[in-house]
A and B are shown apart, each in its own frame.
Chain A
Amino acid sequence: MFGNKRRNGIPGSNGSKKSLVVLATACSLLFTACSADKAPSSGGETDGATSGKRVTLKVEVFDRGNSPDGMTITDNYLTKFVQEKFGDPNNIDVEFVPVPRSEEVEKLNVLMASGSNVPDIVFTYDPNTFNRYAKQGGLTDVGPLLDEHAPNLKAFLGEEVLGYGQFEGTQFAVPAKRSNVGKYASFIRQDWLDKLGLPVPQTTDELYDTLKAFKEKDPGETGGQVIPMGMTIASAQYEPLLWSFIKPLTEEEQYTLTQQLGSNDYPTLLPGFKDGLKFMNTLYNEGLISKDFGLDKDKKKLGEDVATGKVGFYSEDDINPFYENGSVETLQKNVPGALLHSVDVFTNEEGKHAKPMYAPNGMYIMIPKSSERSVEAIKYLEWMATGDNLFQMQNGIEGENYTMVDDIPVAVENPTEEALNRLFNGGDMTIISNGKQLGSMEKNLKARALQMPKQLLEQVEKAQEIANTDVIAPVLMNRPIEAQTKYGTTLLDKFNEMIVKTTMAKPDQFDAVYESMMKDYMSSGGQAILDERKEAYKEMQAK
């Protein structure tokens, strides 16, 4: 950490600027660590509100830097709404603490270590971070608080979702509830198929033939620039493909061989995984996927290639291409007559279109142990789950933001600027829910589709349906796997590296590259996770 000061010792040389990021992070890391040792008081559950004194409740909020003029992320329609409807009646000042969305975990780590200024409500999407905090004893046990103060919240979340917030049997987090668990769908250029007189491919084999036809006949007239299948090193592109190669699993295999890295399950050790890699290797070596897919982590290049009409087929988060001014709309502007249709292609051994789904939970909402406002914090979440508070926060004002059609709030067309700005942070303020909650999955999906441009509605609904077809549920262990917390981030990198390297290997070197990457993966923590999961499975069986 200290060695990174300067690469060249020359005064005024270029070294200092480059290492600034490292230095700054190192400094902040050390500094916050310094001040931390005087911080945490043991206080857990103290009743503040009952004493009648006005108290302050600090709540984390994601800052995406998209606040409209005249508003800030800590002072806007929704923060005022919260203060007025929840804060004032309960004699609480609700203060929002912004955390940049893109460095959520890093910033939260620093906040937690600083001890003094930790919000009373914090959250993260990263289960490893949650497990780490819980293990280090930094979180309040919210179980009793939920029982005492939050009947509506408990009913809203349900047993299954709450289960994700337990650490070694103790409820250390309130997991948010997802309104929709579908993840991925695939998309194909229907106009290309029409031009070539080809049917929509129904299986992986048929897809392969279609891709070859795209490559050879270049129906988009891209001048040799055609990318038959859009690929990146982001999960939305490779997961549907790889998981379709996984063979049917026994329950034991599911529990022991799955590797959970971060919030997703990974198929590294599952039977069939190698076949999936082999297929990607074939696609690459025959020029059916982009030569640079391994550089495209943020899907930027893919988006560009889709929008400029170079890509024939790709997988993506189900409704991602359909947003206003998103891939499809831009594509249709660039290439008149282009059609991108939702399809379900990748097929497994049993003929199913197997693909991962989300866990039913969203973020882990936590109350630090040092918080003296744990009761108020739970009351805040309870308030959000009560009556139509959540609905109002997600949908705004009737007539101005939405109108009710068949029990579903439909966004008003051409809303006023004021109405639009009202909900700019709606998704981030309603922390107990991921996506709109209307009481049933069917309604949730309907409402989600209705947010999209009207002319694309048919494809959006199809994509959502595909995303919920033949889904593979994440495996929930009955106790946290420590090795996953420890090696998760490293292994995720190794996993991606394995995909890139095996895919890009010459066909005759595929086996050798696969073997050496696998060895590296196992020795970097993969084996430790496997051993621990086997042990955990044994315990489960013994019970």
Chain B
Amino acid sequence: MSMNAYFRRYWQLYALLVLPLAYFIIFKYGPMYGIQIAFKDFNFFQGIGGSEWIGFEAFKEVFGMKDFYLTLRNTLMLNFLDLLVSFPAPLIMAIMLYELKSAWFKKLSQTILYIPHFISWVIIGGIVYQVFGTQSGMINNVITGLGLEAIPFLTDKSAWLVTYLLVGVWQSAGWGTIIYLAALTGINKELFEAAGIDGAGRLKKIWHITLPGLKPTIVMLLIMNLGHMISIGFERPYVIGNLAVRDYSEVLSTFVYRIGLESGQYTLATVVGLFQAVVGLVFVLGANYASKKLTDESIL
């Protein structure tokens, strides 16, 4: 087929590609022009082009800041703990949903589990405050009502960590089941029947059929999650965090917000952003390499 005929035949497919391509060029590649701010003494009125080059000065400054290491540590810590707690949650939930016999109950539970995903973090923050507050939170009202000591869910560092993680599970686990449920539909039903005839109980079936069936998905998701250890969403730590637990709740994204947008030090904010991007790239490439070794699947 000549080039001409080829295009005449498939141009619609290429036309469909234009929008996503434009999206990536405008929103992902375009802004990369701004990376140079990290190496310049950014001046609002001179713009990027007019600002003076300062080499690695800003990097030196950022790497000399105590708060940078604190937020870096917290980012890694929160992400790692999130991985431990939030990663298995949807898996367990998906298996439980899969085991349900009653179709309408399954649908109902699924819907209820999804709902938190659609609630904005700002609203969740308000709910968390009302529920977990020490002075007049719902839970502590019950605890003090029983004559016990109130638990500072939000103002004690360790208690806050648990609150943070569990709220994360509550918000995202239901939504996370989708991908496992999709993978589960791919498992051959005959395997379960055969196992049943051989006398396998429910737990044996889960252990020997369901879990192995999900293994590729689990490994894949785990590796992809590892690739994002260095980046963290802004809203969750910002909204749930507070001054009393700042030692744990201040992360790179909130750090960037504070020094960049609030203090107008765009150069420093860009340095942190660039640092995150570079480390993130290393993580993703590493994860990809690991994936290739372990599962023979890779993105690149």
Contacts and interface: CB of A to CB of B under 8 A. Distances in A.
Interface in A53-73: none
- Please report whether the interface of chain A is mostly helix, strand, loop or mixed according to DSSP: helix
Interface string B259-286: 1111111100110111011011000000
A26 B155 contact: no
B45 A295 contact: no
A149 interface: no
B253 A291 contact: no
A92 B235 CA distance: 44
Contacts of B33: 30, 34
Interface string B35-64: 001000011111111100000000000000
B263 A115 contact: no
Interface string A442-473: 00000000000000000000000000000000
B264 A132 contact: yes
B150 A291 contact: yes
A29 B244 CA distance: 30
B264 A14 contact: no
Nearest to A310: B136
A299 to B, nearest CB: 14
B192 interface: no
A31 B47 CA distance: 11
Contacts of B45: 40, 112, 115, 133, 136-138, 368-370
Contacts of B37: 30, 33
A10 B179 contact: yes
Contacts, number: 220
B253 A22 contact: yes
Given A3-B273, A292-B135, A489-B263, A34 B234 contact: no
A404 B195 CA distance: 93
A109 to B, nearest CB: 6
Nearest to A112: B44
Contacts of A488: 263
Interface residues of B, number: 76
A25 B253 CA distance: 11
B132 to A, nearest CB: 10
Contact of B231 (A7, A39, A520): A7
A19 B253 contact: yes
Which of A109, A292, A523 counts the most chain B CB atoms within 10 A?
A292
Interface string B148-183: 001010110000000000000001100110110000
Contact of B243 (A6, A105, A496, A524): A496
A62 B198 CA distance: 74
Interface of A: 1-10, 12-15, 18-19, 21-22, 25-27, 29-31, 33-40, 105-106, 109, 112-113, 115, 128-129, 132-133, 136-138, 224-225, 227, 233, 290-292, 294-295, 301, 305, 368-370, 486, 488-490, 493, 496-497, 500-501, 504, 520, 523-524
By Cβ-Cβ distance, the 7 closest A-B pairs, closest first, are A1-B273, A3-B276, A37-B49, A37-B47, A36-B47, A18-B233, A30-B34
Given A40-B45, A294-B155, A294-B243, 7 more contacts: A2-B274, A2-B276, A4-B234, A8-B224, A14-B171, A225-B136, A496-B243
